Amino acid sequence: ELSDDRCGIGHLGFLGMVIAIDGPAGAGKSSVARAVAQQLGIAYLDTGAMYRCVGLLVARDGVDPDDAEAAFRHAHEADFDLGGGLIRLNGEDVGALIRGSEASECASRVAAHPQVRDEIVLRQQAIIRGGDWVADGRDVGTRIAPAAELKLYLRASVEERARRRAAEGDQPDQLIAAEIAARDERDERRPEGHPAADAIELDTTEMTIDEVIAAVVDLARARGLVDAG
């Protein structure tokens, strides 16, 4: 868990304020979290990007992503730098590379190993300790920041999530839907892959991204985390 010794005042005048946005693949959590962070003027952490980085390393090395020991070694030895809006892995800008289908698939499989998740969670807790953050992922509210001031869990139908992903690339909806369903099944086997008990669940199937962003900002204001003006 995060230490209670929080060392710094964030942009909003709070000590270590965290807004946790979790949800399954394609629910729009990354786009929403990035926009909310920008609107609130605080830092953004894409926790899934770190798993995608490990997935990229595994794919490049031709390692079986189901090999827990090899996946952990790659996670432990990786140098992550998520500052300045870029994603650097061992000094290389991999922001575009980690969004490919191979890295995404490997990321989901390496993330299933408890020792890999433990390593990455420790890294992420060190990043957010003492500052103000909007962080998105699968287990921000359950493991990374269980004391987060606001926790949300974004949902959407498999069909809608596949449509959104297809709009970002050139794969057909049906193929993406199958991949998303497989990832959902893997995630549901992990206790931390489910919503935190105190998370606010938001079904985004029929919502535009702007509507979701506005809803999150409104909730932050209702909690007194940001200026209501």
Query: Which residue from 111, 122, 42 is spatially nearest to 80, judged by alpha carbons?
Result: 122
Is the pLDDT assigned to residue 9 strictly greater than 60? Answer: no
Tokens of 94: 């991999």
Backbone angles phi, psi at 20, to 5 degrees: -100, 125
pLDDT tens by residue, 13-39: 334 689 999 998 888 899 999 999 999
Contact 137, 18 (CB under 8 A): no
pLDDT digits (tens, 9 = 90+) for 202-226: 999 999 999 999 999 999 999 988 7
Dihedrals phi, psi of 45, to nearest 5 degrees: -125, 120
Q: CA 12 → CA 9, 62, 108, 164, distances in Å?
A: 8, 45, 34, 33
Read out DSSP for 5-62? ----B-TTS-BS-EEEEE-STTSSHHHHHHHHHHHHT-EEEEHHHHHHHHHHHHHHHT
Tell me the pLDDT tens digit for each residue of 174-196: 778 888 888 788 777 776 668 99
Task: Say how far apart CA 97 and CA 166 lie, in whole Å.
Answer: 17
d(CA 30, CA 134): 10
Region of 156 please: left (phi>0), alpha (psi -120 to 50) or beta.
beta
Look at 123 and 165; give whichever has higher pLDDT. 123
pTM of the shown model: 0.82
Share of residues in the chain with pLDDT > 90 (%) = 63
